[in-house]
Structure 1
């Protein structure tokens, strides 16, 4: 039985499987045949609360396992116990009350309203998996890691999906050893991080879906008792909790614009944290931060071709644009989302960030007793606020590039405020962020028009209809710039939560 498991899941591309198996000498690892049956209510109550529940046969012996959220992307609550085979039944009856006294069982009971007594009578099998697992214990420093190579399939409602992944589970020691083992395999074989578990794959297959839902930003749980490095670790973990699920879906083949958009939002939030709060603890050097910027930019190319083009073309059509008007072809090749997130350099940086988010440096005084920490947070918020207000006063006089920097600065101010909401009070921060929204919306529209104007300027010599777009968007740029200035001026009156006494 395990209270928490720390596990890293890496997807293996089909073209790399043979080379990876040979490099790891998988053929000589311990072999286990796994047959797992996953249970939930007809309405999917367990999955809705982040739990999975299975009965699994391992070389003829049955084990029942309950897993739930462990507070971090790589951590899960887990309770596992052996159960007896039942005569006349291919699969033993599942009994969730066996987990009653475990942390995972108590968490499930709390999520469902307090009792597990009747749950076993309400569940049905949702899907099953058949996996050949090869395992080996490896050591790195003081860490002992179980490495498992899983190959097989998920089955639900007559549908089948393949499984080929490498799992690394920390059995003892510090997490650093887990990542040290993973890095060379990711670099050499093009593996990528995935948060999509077998239970999630099965649930998607059973529901007839190819990819999982979009994951939006959450609010990190911060407290003034936390040290400065602990604050930054929690914020980075919160950013990764948005980036990785969306990136996992993109890497697995999703071209959903919302997955791409939310991955970019997560990356922008992460880059904000590193830029504005990087003094709290060392995280990434400039070279690795540039890798994040590259991934963000490549995903943005797709957004320009899809979301921005739809918005701008729709407004042009309403303005009476020629029906033949088309969004101009991009200059050069547009990077596709899948390769952008599967990129080895990007995956290496994600591993480094995950390792940082799980690290435990020597104890330090909390920010409650660290006046420099509190003052530093207030200073960063005040500086961004002041810069946004100052730029707003002269927005119409700024260059297009400088106007775009104002938009990015306003976003950093919003994200930094949201990061710190549990320190300064959710309601106060929400009031402030809401006051920023009109300016953010105005700047977003202004930026979309600027992107459109640049695109149609490139095309006016080859697409005569583009002249209409250039003329109309040029006029709109002047008007939307004035609207941005009006909206930014109102930011000066936003209720600054950091000037009030925080929850110290």
Structure 2
């Protein structure tokens, strides 16, 4: 069993020729690779984010099992060379005794031992080059070919940076230079994920939702925040990869924004801002870059929510036809273009680097217990929420929106800190946070739609119908918001019990 430390990038078509010249130096090697990937009829391996393949590498065959690792850089990999002439038969016993092999056995047993069958295949020409970067040795693997499933196929054009030796920080620094030079786009979708979506007849990977995280009660702050950062980055990068590659749907954008809010919540609580931080501290520019990215993505999500929710309801209520998008001003932001921007790609690499252990020679100071370190930021956030919840009747739209954002942060941090606090009081708090967030969310969507309706009045007096209908809806939502906030204000946070 080995743990791969690698990053994969998609190559924009106009940049391929220059990239090929950069990789195919005199010491580079080329090799054709042809692989068949296997799964159950119910796609149990794909759902568990595992990949099982037989690959011909020149004249040799290798059977490989891959599974998720502990972070965005890591994947578990178990390779077994298979002797003999011709294509060998698949045999999962070759992976017995490895961590991934044991996980595969459990997965198949839980599923009732379904048969494994070939689902899709890849054929690529790989150009491989090994180079040194600082204290690291890195292999570059440029793959150009296709993925096939039945009579469907899609082109494949990607480059992988795999760390052979040295610190992961050097791998990220090297990748960042190549991203800047060649316009590479970080892509968390593996070949097996591309093949699965093709075999299933899907246009792309489905939206990725937040995944549960449970921390050890005794975890220190370093371990806890690394796990929390990794968990949130998985959701962010998976949705961003599909949106940047296309096609995507509005739910990708929604889940990306959820992931970004969870990520920013972790950065705010587990890496609290320090007024005396060093000039080279990466956190302030990271926070600023995340905020700058979140604002236009939020505007795009508001437009989606308007066009898919309240505007159709308005039409059903008898409103005259009205545009659901702004009638003047700048064009709405293109989320995919924002995600493909060089600054966004560098931001992803910086966030991945933040979750790595220090590679400095000076040992890090002892990390405090996570439960006590996070209790302070959470308690401050809780006091702000309770204060605004008590005076909800006097809050304007902006203050209500700020309260909702704080409730979301509190909810995400309580979920991500699962295991640090007693389960029952944490569950009771979440049961009160969720309806308060939902009630304020409906109110915020109505406020956004109402502001849009008012902006249309100058061009079309018929928009007064929308203004009146939305005003009445906002008033009708107030009692539900107030009731949810009163109930939330009576909760006891689990971190106060320690």
Normalised TM-score (structure 2): 0.92
Between 374-383 and 137-146, report the one with greater CA deviation: 374-383
Contact 2:440 2:481 in 1 (8 A): yes
Structure 2: state its 5+ residue gaps: none
Q: CA deviation at 1:473?
A: 2.1
Contact conserved, 2:390 with 2:489, CA < 8 A, in 1?
Answer: no
Q: What SS does the corresponding residue of 2:126 show, helix, strand or coil?
A: strand
CA displacement at 1:219 relative to structure 2: 3.1
- 1:42 is displaced (CA, Å) by 2.6
The CA deviation string for residues 264-289 of structure 1, in whole angstroms up to 9 with x for no partner, is 10001111111222139987432332
2:200 and 2:189 map into 1 onto residues whose CA distance is: 15
**Paired position in structure 2 for 1:107:** 103
CA apart distance, 1:36? 0.9
CA spacing shift, 1:55–1:302, aligned 2, 3 Å: same
Residue 5 (structure 1) aligns with: 4
Aligned to 1:321, the other structure's residue is in SS state: coil
Secondary structure at 2:69 match in 1: strand
Whether 1:383 aligns to 2:380 is yes
TM-aligned CA deviation for residue 262 of structure 1: 0.4
* Residue aligning to 1:438: 435
| Alignment of 1:414 onto 2:411 | yes
Q: How far, CA to CA, are the matches of 1:18 and 1:67 in structure 2?
A: 31
* Structure 2 Cα separation of the partners of residues 26 and 161 of structure 1: 28
Moved more, 334-343 or 106-115: 106-115
Cα shift at 1:478:
3.8
Change (3 A) 1:152 1:500: same
Correspondence 1:29 to 2:28: yes
Report if the CA contact (8 A) 1:73-1:241 is conserved.
yes
Q: Partners in 1 of 2:109 and 2:366 — Cα distance?
A: 38
TM-score of the superposed pair, with normalisation by structure 1: 0.91
Structure 1 residues 453, 151: CA separation in 2 closer, same or farther (over 3 Å shift)? same
Deviations 1:54-97 (A, max 9, x none): 111111211111111223232121111211233xx5x2211111
Alpha-carbon RMSD across the aligned residues, in angstroms, is 2.4
- Structure 1: give runs of 5+ residues left out of the alignment: none
**Does residue 484 of the first structure (1) align with residue 481 of the second (2)?**
yes
| Residues 108-123 of structure 1 mapped to structure 2, 5 A cutoff | 108-113=104-109, 122-123=115-116
Give the secondary structure class of the aligned counterpart of 1:148: strand
What is aligned with 1:499?
496
Q: Quote the offset at 1:366 in angstroms.
A: 5.0
- The verdict on how the C-alpha distance between 1:270 and 1:114 changes in structure 2, with shifts beyond 3 A counting, is closer
- 1:221–1:234 Cα contact (<8 Å) kept: no
**Counterpart of 1:71 in 2: which secondary structure?**
coil
Task: State the aligned residue count.
Answer: 489
Cα displacement (A) at 1:203: 1.4
**Higher alpha-carbon deviation: 329-338 or 431-440:** 329-338
1:275 alignment counterpart: 268
Q: How does 1:248-397 map to 2 (within 5 A)?
A: 248-279=241-272, 284-318=282-316, 320-329=317-326, 331-360=329-358, 362=363, 364-368=365-369, 374-397=371-394
Once the two structures are TM-superposed, the CA of residue 26 in structure 1 deviates from its matched residue by: 5.2
